[in-house]
Amino acid sequence: MKRTGFVIMLVIFTLTGMAMAQDYWEYPATISSTGYGTASAEPDVASVVFGVNITRSEPDIAVNDAARLVEAAMAAARREGVEGEDMQTTSYNLWVQEVWDDYDYEYTGEMEYVVTHYVKADIRDISSVGDVLAAVVTAGANSINGVSFYVEDTASLYVEARQRAAEHARDKAEQLADNFGVTLGEISSISEWTNNYYPTSGMAYDNYGGGLGYYAESPPVTPGAFSISVEVSATYEIIQ
């Protein structure tokens, strides 16, 4: 009797476990789709990185010359309407290197000191970007690492792009349901990803100006369009 009772209890536990496992592994049928939405606007801010890259025979001369040229370039930017609070140093480096003789193709044993100092400036008057570039180069900057444009307040662009992405995802899910002859049920999950496109200009004044009295003309600058893209994925339960 003890063995029979044990066998009966074992069978009951086994059947119960199988039922629990079946309930656990039974997931509802679903349809997933991904929608894309983009919203664009004309940029209202330009970001410019300018600075100096100089080489001198003494470290103190290199540091002082770099500081003088960068200060002159920043002052020129302020005269063109760039606010002081909209400029900040992005990098500053000083290193020593051995002088290379291009004629004899060998190192000379002499040492020289290189200083790079770069400043980022946000220009809020897009129409003045060319004038600012010309001004900082004429004042002493000998390197400009491109120009990027963006929209300062992007809240409304996100709303527009997100709405388009959601509608696109819903339309695709409904199309899939119609193709397979089923009906969409409740939404079980929603995910979102965003991506910003910053239009850039490839222009660069490299090793030009340097505070040597050169004059730079105002270059033409085309901002293009600033875009925000949103990707939305939605999963729907299927009603048979």
Question: Is residue 85 very low, low, confident or very high in pLDDT (cuts 50, 70, 90)?
Answer: very high
- Residue 147 · residue 221 · CB < 8 Å: yes
Mean pLDDT over residues 212-233, rounded? 78
Domain 44-152+202-221 belongs in CATH node 3.30.420.40: no
What pLDDT sits at residue 207? 42
Higher pLDDT, 212 or 35: 35
Question: Is residue 131 very low, low, confident or very high in pLDDT (cuts 50, 70, 90)?
Answer: very high
pLDDT digits (tens, 9 = 90+) for 134-153: 999 999 999 998 889 999 99
Q: Rg of the chain's alpha carbons, rounded to an integer?
A: 32
Tokens 């409304």, located at residue: 156
Residue spans per domain, the chain: 44-152+202-221
Least confident of 52-61, 77-86, 155-164, 223-232: 223-232
For 123-135, the DSSP string reads ES-GGGHHHHHHH
What pLDDT sits at residue 10? 44
Tokens 């990098």, located at residue: 91
Helices 129-139, 59-79: crossing angle, 10 deg rounding: 150
Rounded to whole angstroms, the Cα distance separating 51 from 69 reads: 8
**Kind of pairing, strands 45-56 and 143-150?**
antiparallel
What pLDDT sits at residue 194? 87
Average pLDDT, the chain: 85
Indicate the pTM of the whole model: 0.69
First to last CA, the chain: 49
